[in-house]
């Protein structure tokens, strides 16, 4: 069991620092873990505030990148009745300290039935550097000497340990993935260290339970995913591309 004596709250998110609970700690002995139903959490990648569609194939989740330089955000959704700690990695690095990621690292706290939007790499208690899709040589991981895990976003969600009983939760659906495996390699695209964005945090208490869930999402350009065997379809039509106020006459019409 791990005790997080302090965490940080970011506007909405929070970050915590993890330490081990000593065996002779009376407060640790007072905790009695409750039965742990399946957690219900989800992960979205947002561009311009909208979730980017993903592809489920061969037991993995893929996110097609349509344009380099596009800024994005990571949204963690908590569909359960307890707070969770969300440890996020991008390209194999912690978004909070830039080191190779571990579930023992600090993370953001997401309230019951709530969500947290993570805008970038944390620079200090008040600022992050925006996430953006970049070619391999321009990625933050490459620039700091850790290019081996480009093209992956990870979430480890850990539920808070509490003495309060909670209602039974519906078990998460298991997706019917194809038995085929993607051939080839993805990882030519990664995440850059972009412009500064406001994002303040502060510490709050948190005690981890043993109930956790991991979500992994792979991302790369459409062309790279197709070469790897991922069935990326054509761009779907957009129903409201620019929301014009009225319908103009077609070209050649004298009323135009």
Question: Per residue in 186-198, pLDDT tens?
Answer: 678 999 999 999 9
Q: pLDDT > 90: what percent of the chain?
A: 55
| Selection from 12, 102, 110, 117 nearest residue 71 by Cα | 117
The pLDDT assigned to 241 comes to: 60
Exposure string over 149-186, b if 16+ CB within 10 A, otherwise e? bbbbbbbbbbbbbeeeeeeeeeeeeeeeeeeeebeeeb
Angle at 131 between CA 129 and CA 132, to 5 degrees: 125
Per-residue tokens: 149: 């895990």
- Predicted model pTM: 0.74
Question: Per residue in 35-71, pLDDT tens?
Answer: 566 789 999 999 999 999 999 999 999 999 999 999 9
pLDDT value at 184 more than 90 = no
15 burial via Cβ count (<10 Å: 0-12, 13-18, 19+): buried
pLDDT value at 250 more than 90 = no
* 65-91 mean pLDDT: 95
Question: Per residue in 192-240, pLDDT tens?
Answer: 999 999 998 878 888 999 899 999 999 999 999 999 899 987 755 656 6
| Selection from 51, 189, 45, 203 nearest residue 119 by Cα | 45
**Helical segments of the chain, H only:** 26-30, 140-143, 222-227
The pLDDT assigned to 181 comes to: 37
CB 151 within 8 A of CB 113: no
């Amino acid at each position: 069991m791990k005790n997080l004596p302090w965490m940080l709250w970011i506007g909405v998110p929070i970050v915590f620092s993890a330490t081990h609970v000593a065996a002779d700690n009376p407060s640790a002995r007072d905790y009695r873990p409750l039965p742990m139903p399946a957690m219900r959490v989800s992960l979205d990648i947002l561009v311009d505030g909208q979730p980017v569609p993903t592809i489920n194939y061969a037991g993995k989740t893929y996110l097609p990148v349509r344009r380099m330089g596009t800024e994005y955000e990571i949204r963690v959704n908590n569909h359960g009745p307890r707070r969770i700690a969300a440890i996020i990695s991008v390209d194999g690095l912690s978004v909070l300290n830039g080191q190779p990621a571990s579930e023992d690292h600090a993370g953001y706290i997401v309230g019951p039935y709530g969500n947290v939007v993570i805008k970038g790499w944390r620079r200090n208690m008040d600022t992050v550097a925006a996430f953006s899709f970049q070619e391999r040589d321009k990625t933050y991981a490459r620039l700091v000497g850790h290019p081996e895990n480009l093209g992956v976003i990870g979430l480890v969600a850990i539920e808070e340990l509490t003495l309060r009983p909670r209602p039974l939760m519906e078990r998460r659906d298991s997706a019917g993935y194809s038995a085929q495996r993607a051939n080839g390699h993805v990882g030519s695209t990664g995440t850059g260290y972009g412009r500064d964005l406001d994002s303040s945090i502060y510490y709050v208490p948190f005690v981890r339970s043993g109930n956790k869930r991991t979500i992994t999402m792979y991302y790369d350009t459409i062309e790279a995913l197709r070469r790897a065997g991922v069935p990326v379809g054509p761009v779907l039509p957009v129903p409201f591309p620019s929301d014009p106020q009225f319908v103009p006459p077609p070209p050649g019409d004298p009323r135009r």
